[in-house]
Amino acid sequence: MAGHSKWANIKHRKARQDAVKGKAWSKCSRAIMVAVKNGGPDTDVNLTLRYAILDAKSCNMPKDTILKAIAKASGEGSDGAIFQEIRYEGYGPNGVAIIVDCLTDNVQRTGPDLRHAFEKHGGNLAKPGAVSFSFQTKGVILVESDSATEDQLMEIALENGAEDVGGGEGGWEITTEPVDFVPVLKALEDAEVPTVSAQITMIPDLQVTCDANTARKVMNMVDTFEDHDDVQKVYTNADISEEIMASLDG
């Protein structure tokens, strides 16, 4: 799950990725291959590919596996399936806004599947744009608090185009415009500051505070979406406290 980054939510997402590593790597490979086919294998000019590789690395996908996906997409006679990007938007329990980004080779399969998932979990599919207008696309980089001081991060990040550096439970959150995401991330790498998570994501303008019951329903819905082979990213405006998130993990 992606969205407004709270440490509890990031921990949940990473723990879940570890639990379903094979599926996560399969989705990352698909994203890498589609990016290569659409924009070529050079990450200096193909930012979509660069972002796909960053996502793969965040799932601990081996470098060799990443290179194999790039090579497969670059070669003639590779998988002939044609994938298209498609976004589904809707609402979950208690009016929580949900965006589901997919890469699919069969819209006639994916659309009904996701509509059923929304309805099964007490939500509903909405028209394109009904939800996404209330989200902003941003780069978000998380750094553990013991990896750098606030002054160090402010100097590195803000001088390289970051919008903000904020403190959170257990670490720092750096926010950028998408165009400044790679320069800021590179500056952190050059300064040998390790990151916990680095991604282009969608941040909601307003959040819906969730009690334990609503949070469980929302996360069950998100899990259903993320289990679908065609789904790449899920974004919500659910505000789930660390205590509730911990209880869901347990």
Q: Read off the pLDDT band of 185 (50, 70, 90).
A: very high
The residue-averaged pLDDT of 218-224 equals 92
At residue 196, the pLDDT reads 83
For residue 128, is pLDDT > 80?
A: yes
Rounded to 5 degrees, what are φ and ψ at 34?
-65, -40
The upper half-sphere exposure of residue 44, i.e. CA atoms within 13 Å in the direction of its Cβ, equals 0
Q: 35-79: per-residue pLDDT in tens? A: 888 888 888 888 888 889 988 888 888 899 889 888 888 775 445
At residue 113, the pLDDT reads 96
At residue 3, the pLDDT reads 43
Higher pLDDT, 1 or 65: 65
For residue 1, is pLDDT > 70?
A: no
For residue 7, is pLDDT > 70?
A: no
Collapsing DSSP to helix, strand or coil, 22 comes out as: helix
At residue 21, the pLDDT reads 63
At residue 17, the pLDDT reads 55
At residue 77, the pLDDT reads 47
The residue-averaged pLDDT of 143-162 equals 90
Collapsing DSSP to helix, strand or coil, 104 comes out as: strand
Query: Taking Cα atoms as reference points, which of 172, 169, 181 lies closest to residue 143?
Result: 172
Q: 79-97: per-residue pLDDT in tens? A: 556 788 899 999 999 999 9
The residue-averaged pLDDT of 4-30 equals 65
At residue 18, the pLDDT reads 57
Mean pLDDT of the chain: 86
At residue 24, the pLDDT reads 82
Strands (E) in the chain, as ranges, are: 2-3, 84-91, 97-104, 124-126, 135-144, 164-168, 171-176, 197-204, 208-209, 231-236, 238-239
At residue 69, the pLDDT reads 87
The region of weakest confidence among 28-32, 170-174, 181-185 is 170-174
Listing from the earlier edge strand, what are the strands of the sheet with 231-236?
2-3, 231-236, 97-104, 84-91, 124-126
Higher pLDDT, 39 or 14: 39
- By residue count, the chain amounts to 250
At residue 22, the pLDDT reads 66
The residue-averaged pLDDT of 172-197 equals 91
The residue-averaged pLDDT of 132-160 equals 91
**Could you give the percent of the chain with pLDDT greater than 70?**
86
Query: Taking Cα atoms as reference points, which of 149, 156, 113, 121 lies closest to residue 236?
Result: 121
At residue 224, the pLDDT reads 93
